[in-house]
Amino acid sequence: MKKILITGGAGFVGSHLCERLLNEGNEVICLDNFFTGSKKNILKFLDNPYFELVRHDVTHPYFVEVDEIYNLACPASPIHYQYNPIKTIKTSVVGAVNMLGLAKRVNAKILQASTSEVYGDPHVHPQKEDYWGNVNPIGLRSCYDEGKRCAETLFMDYHHQNNVNIKIIRIFNTYGSNMNPNDGRVVSNFIVQALKGEDITMFGDGTQTRSFQYVDDLVEGMIRMMNSPNDFLGPVNLGNPNEFTMLELAETIIKLTNSTSKIIFMPLPKDDPKQRQPDISLAKEKLNGWEPKIQLEEGLQKTISYFKDILNEA
């Protein structure tokens, strides 16, 4: 049994990771300040004697004895990370310093949940880990993009200077149950609008592309990365390489929900990437052949079922 700390553990991805690690027989400490995380996501674990919930903000130091740390704390959707951009970048940067300091003190292995946003609006397609990115350092999205880029720098420097055992993953668009219906991400937006019969809001002309990964595939990749040999630090892309336009996504969701929704077009937000697709050859090579197993329609059906239940409760 390992003692594992998950920052942002009550969030969308964090709650799935909590469940998987508990099911594997570990002791899990879930750290969250509930800015975007939800107690609903982790209610079912509260009676588990090996699960501990701590309300805490990672911008303040936290002291505990653990074997591993998954650092997921940070709002990940534009509507939330742009709400308080200074808080967002502090969460990424100061939070990384605090968690790396903890890992150094207790000799824990630590994984940083970075993001495909470090590639910005890419000039290279698909994106490989050796691409340095095309990021606006003073734009609306930069609090998130640059915060995550700086966190990667800190992880590497703590490794080189203090020999901290680090892992870095770059997460591409992920969806699934436990998403907040109002989180502003494209999959949840489109599904909720389709289920309500509202117009589906398409930003831009719908030709921009994304690659969508179901959350179970991501969690599998995260755990494989944490358990990979110590000499493999990353960064490594975790995403589904199948690329879809926003129009294809909207039309698939309308079909799967039998919705009468119409698609309406709005201006594209500033610095919104035109293309996003991971090259996952490094993950396949280093993480025992890891690749996504759940493709878009299957994952969307699971997610639509979850949102139907959420909307019925409301």
Catalytic residues: 144
Question: Within the chain, where are the H helices?
Answer: 12-23, 39-42, 78-81, 85-106, 142-162, 186-196, 215-226, 246-257, 281-286, 296-313
**Tokens 């409760």 label which residue?**
313
The two beta strands, 209-211 and 243-245, are antiparallel
The helix or strand, by DSSP H or E, that contains position 5, with its residue range, turns out to be strand 3-7
The enclosing H or E element of 10 equals: none
End-to-end CA distance of the chain: 39
Nearest to 68 by CA among 18, 13, 106, 41: 106
**Contact criterion met (CB below 8 Å) for 103 and 109:** yes
Q: Of 30, 29, 21, 18, give the one whose Cα is nearest residue 1.
A: 21
